[in-house]
Each structure stands twice: as C-alpha cells, then as structure tokens.
C-alpha cells in the first residue's frame, strides 16, 4: 500500500460556502466544508459529546459545535475553547476536477 486511500465523497457543486455536508465514508460520519474557497473534512462528532458538527456554523476557518459552542479548527481539528478539550480528527482532501475526495488516513 502506498499513500492514503482517497475516496470520492461528493462533487464540488454539492457544496455551498460555509454549509457543512455530512457524508458517510465507510461508516465514518464526516463533515465536508467549503469555506473561503477551500475544502476541509472533519470527523462529524464533537469530542465533547455525541453531537453532529455538520449542524454547526462555520466561521473564520472553524466549525462551531451548536450544543455548547466549542469551535474546532478545520485544519487541525483542535478546539479553540471549552468545553471541548480534545481535538476532532481531520482528514486530507483532494480535488480532482469536480470531485471531492477524502482519505480517512488521519493527518497528524
């Protein structure tokens, strides 16, 4: 095996700016987010409780958990404030033509 295994999750025109798209990638819920012209993929479940991040707001390169307001950096998955203390996994994204591909190989 060489390199991460990228899988198509959607097309670019399915993504609206700052509106997360929830996809299922081999049983893993992933939020795909287009913001400021860049596409990110982040594990959909908040690290604080079992809440879907796709229902939160996207702003300043972060996605906000709607329940208690922790924001997670879409590049690193790190929370910028409480109550969440643990990061959420983020995944590499590749754009091929109109296709958006995500690899579940976790970025370190």
Residue indicated by tokens 């809440």? 51
Asked whether position 65 contacts ligand FES by CB under 6 A, the answer is yes
CA–CA gap between residue 97 and residue 35 (Å, rounded): 18
Residue 3 DSSP class: S
CA–CA gap between residue 48 and residue 68 (Å, rounded): 9
Site for ligand FES in 27-56 (CB under 6 A): 46, 48-49, 51
Binding mask 70-89 for ligand FES (x = CB under 6 A): x------------xx-----
- CB of residue 6 vs ligand FES: minimum separation in angstroms? 28
Give yes or no for a contact between 32 and 23, defined as CB atoms under 8 angstroms apart: yes
Asked whether position 91 contacts ligand FES by CB under 6 A, the answer is no
Give me the residues that bind ligand FES (CB under 6 A), please.
46, 48-49, 51, 65, 67-68, 70, 83-84
């Amino acid at each position: 095996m060489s390199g991460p295994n990228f899988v198509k999750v959607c097309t670019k025109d399915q993504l609206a700016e700052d509106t997360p798209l929830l996809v299922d990638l081999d049983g893993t819920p992933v939020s795909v987010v287009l913001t400021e012209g860049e596409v990110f993929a982040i594990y959909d479940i908040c690290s604080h409780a079992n809440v879907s991040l796709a229902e939160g707001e996207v702003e300043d390169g972060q996605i906000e958990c709607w329940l208690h307001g922790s924001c997670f950096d879409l590049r690193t998955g790190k929370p910028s404030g409480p109550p969440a203390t643990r990061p959420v996994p983020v995944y590499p994204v590749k754009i091929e033509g109109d296709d958006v591909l995500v690899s579940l190989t976790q970025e370190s």
